[in-house]
Amino acid sequence: MKILVVSDSHRRLDNLIKVYERENPDIVICGGDHDIDVEELSFIYPDSKYVIVSGNCDYFYSNYPNELKIIIENFKFFITHGDAYRVKSEYDFIYKKGEELSCDIIIFGHTHRQYLDISRKIKLFNPGAVLDGNYGIILIEDNKIEFLHKKL
């Protein structure tokens, strides 16, 4: 299973299209900020499954929740933009939320910086801003998971 993780597109649908065409994912996870860009991507490429949360820049027009808990291939994901969890200054607050929800992986954006912490029980993954050509890939096979940061 190949999961494309994007966040913070800020109206760069062109970057999303390039990333999608390069990766051809099974699932696309959007961590917010111009979630409408990923919604438009879903109309162009309807064969993938899309999981979308809104971000702080989506406040007035989003039809998506601020956060979600989902299960993919037996892994429990908590997906949020991250602004409500102070991710620009620390990660303990978002980590505690992941513990409360008994998650394995936390996906977030907001900082525009790629980030991966696999040192603790819950893995933290920020794909960076697709606005800048940054994105992430999660590969799941045989109950093993791999996280990759990529750039256009």
pLDDT above 70 as % of the chain: 100
pLDDT value of residue 10 = 93
CB of 140 within 8 A of CB of 26? no
Q: Are 66 and 41 a contacting pair, CB within 8 Å?
A: no
Amino acid at 36: I
Report, as an integer, the average pLDDT of 18-37: 96
Confidence of residue 80 (pLDDT cuts 50, 70, 90): very high
Residue 96 neighbours by CB under 8 Å, 6+ apart? none
At 49, the amino acid letter reads: K
CA distance 36 to 60: 12
Quote the pLDDT of residue 151.
98
Asked which of 60-69, 121-130, 143-152 is least confident by mean pLDDT, the reply is 60-69
Binning pLDDT at 50, 70 and 90, where does residue 63 land? confident
Between 91 and 63, whose confidence is greater? Answer: 91
Annotate the chain with DSSP letters as a single string.
Answer: -EEEEE---TT-HHHHHHHHHHH--SEEEE-SSSHHHHHHHHHH-TTSEEEE---GGGTTT--S-SEEEEEETTEEEEEE-SGGGTTTT-SHHHHHHHHHTT-SEEE--SSSSEEEE-SSSSEEEEE--GGGTEEEEEEEETTEEEEEEEE-
Residue type for 111, please? T
Residue 100 and residue 32: Cα distance in Å, rounded? 22
pLDDT band at 132 (very low <50, low <70, confident <90, very high): very high
Structure tokens belonging to residue 118? 């696999």
* pLDDT > 90? residue 45: yes
The per-residue pLDDT for 61 is 79
Task: Please determine, for residue 23, whether its predicted confidence score (pLDDT) is greater than 90.
Answer: yes
What CATH number has the domain spanning 11-151?
3.60.21.10
pTM of the complete model beyond 0.85 = yes
